[in-house]
Amino acid sequence: MPKELLIQVAPEIAANDFLLKDHVAKMIRTSVSEVQHISILKRSIDARQKAIKINLKLMIFFQGESFTEQKIELPNYPNVANQQEVIVIGAGPAGLFAALQLIEVGLKPIVIERGKEVRGRRRDLKAINVDHIVNEDSNYCFGEGGAGTYSDGKLYTRSKKRGDVDRILELLVGFGASPDILIEAHPHIGTNKLPQIIQDIREKIIECGGQVLFETRVTDFVIKNNEIQGIVTQKGETISANKVILATGHSARDIFELLDRKKILIEAKPFALGVRAEHPQELIDSIQYSCDFRGDYLPPAPYSIVKQVNGRGMYSFCMCPGGVIAPCATSPGEVVTNGWSPSKRDQATANSGIVVELKLEDFKPFAKFGPLAGMEFQKSIEQKAWHLAGETQKVPAQRMIDFTQNKISSSIPKTSYVPGTTSVEMGQVFPGFLTQIMREGFLQFGKSMKGYLTNEAILHAPESRTSSPVRIPRDAQTLEHLQIKGLYPCGEGAGFAGGIVSAAIDGEKCALKIKESLG
């Protein structure tokens, strides 16, 4: 009978099938020849001690026991070309997984995306990086796959519903992701691998009779007697449907403004804001692995750190080992940073958002904007950073120790941020209370992670799009908007998700609720 086993082994053993089989055979006191196959069910790194170990959850199959490699297969999606139509606004993870779920339950999705298809986005990403030109409809945040496509592809989530998480991961494997994402403690696809997966999802939607409309921006909602009837595009075209999933992401400011203008209920929501810190990856490896060189069997080290400073949480966000910092503005006249890693995480630097939790009271200077106060607070910092750095896509930058000492850095080395940097005293970018918290917080970080507080680390500002500054409220049971029947606020932009997996789960939930409402 197959045997499940939890073990800790050295990294070189975990990386070599023969060594692992030999180690397991000795542990369970049998011969290597008796072990037919070992399946790795879960894998994580334990770096708490100087001798780093790999935690493995294994299933061992012995000679004479049947073992067949399980292949992940996609659901049997039906053709829905002639079925009831549901509009899905936004082709990020929430929208795409909502569309797949709609097809699975026999409904036809019409996916409307303001940006370009995933390959077409590349020219606009080059334009923002090289020519400092921001396309408001096609950038790192807008376009097929949403913000996740070209900003890393991390798949870990705080969602407690393991079954829902596993389903999303298995669907991603079915569409071409590495099966390793099913076993890693912190699964990650990589910015270089995601575009093909996203394209394959879109092709499946179309193959099953769904529609995907690119470069189509929603400019109005058709509402009658507080019931959604359809949407209007920037070309003046009306697309009718009495079920609409609103999955536009955390940066769709025009949608928030449209909702507010039409007096459709929205709320200001706290979020977090700060800087993106870049260190040499070798330095982070030496801190996390307590070694001079991590060797061939350990991945580039991540880190996660949280501190309470003056009653506020300050923490690492979207940490990218072996990655780069990217320009993520969505309008001219602002700068925004984010980070990503390729699948091999083989770049020379590590970066992470280091952000401070904000409170609704922080938005009081923007109270005249009502539920958009947090968004206007966010915009004001992005616009100030743009102005201070020279009114291009260069960002304000400062060495970490210099920042804690309120001292302009005399030089900024070349960083992974392609548009470039301008040496600025970062306190000019942020409100005083935020600057004070970050200065104190970095000192605390340095005490917890010896070597982290260094002038080799360069801070880039701002990291401001951590989550939506607006919540679009919905009924907890039906998931419909509290005021507009048939409108389903969904994913990160509505304030109900944070990352690829949780957004995808929320997209599926909204699709299932629509099916349920139709009987």
Helices assigned H by DSSP within 213-360:
253-261, 281-289
As a whole number of angstroms, the distance between CA 508 and CA 315 comes to 30
Task: Look at residue 159 in the predicted model and tell me its pLDDT.
Answer: 62
In degrees rounded to 5, what are phi and psi of residue 515? -60, -45
In degrees rounded to 5, what are phi and psi of residue 212? -135, 115
User: Is the four-CA dihedral 158, 160, 164, 166 of positive or negative sign?
Assistant: positive
- Select from 233, 277, 289, 288 the least CA-distant residue to 426: 277
Instruction: Tell me the one-letter amino acid at 186.
Output: H
* Domains of the chain by start residue, with CATH: 3-62 (3.30.70.2700), 85-267+472-518 (3.50.50.60), 272-463 (no CATH)
**How many C-beta atoms lie closer than 10 Å to residue 95's C-beta?**
32
Task: Look at residue 82 in the predicted model and tell me its pLDDT.
Answer: 97
Task: Look at residue 292 in the predicted model and tell me its pLDDT.
Answer: 82
Task: Look at residue 189 in the predicted model and tell me its pLDDT.
Answer: 85
What are the mean pLDDT values of the chain's consecutive 10-residue runs (519 residues total)?
A: 94 96 96 94 91 95 87 95 98 97 98 95 94 95 87 67 84 94 88 89 98 98 98 97 97 97 97 98 95 89 96 95 95 96 90 98 98 98 98 98 98 97 97 98 96 98 97 98 98 93 95 96
Task: Look at residue 71 in the predicted model and tell me its pLDDT.
Answer: 87
Instruction: Tell me if residue 289 falls in helix, strand or coil.
Output: helix
Strand runs labelled E in 299-385: 306-309, 312-320, 324-327, 337-340, 349-357
Task: Look at residue 232 in the predicted model and tell me its pLDDT.
Answer: 98
H/E element holding 1? none
Task: Look at residue 192 in the predicted model and tell me its pLDDT.
Answer: 79
Task: Look at residue 148 in the predicted model and tell me its pLDDT.
Answer: 76
As a whole number of angstroms, the distance between CA 394 and CA 397 comes to 9
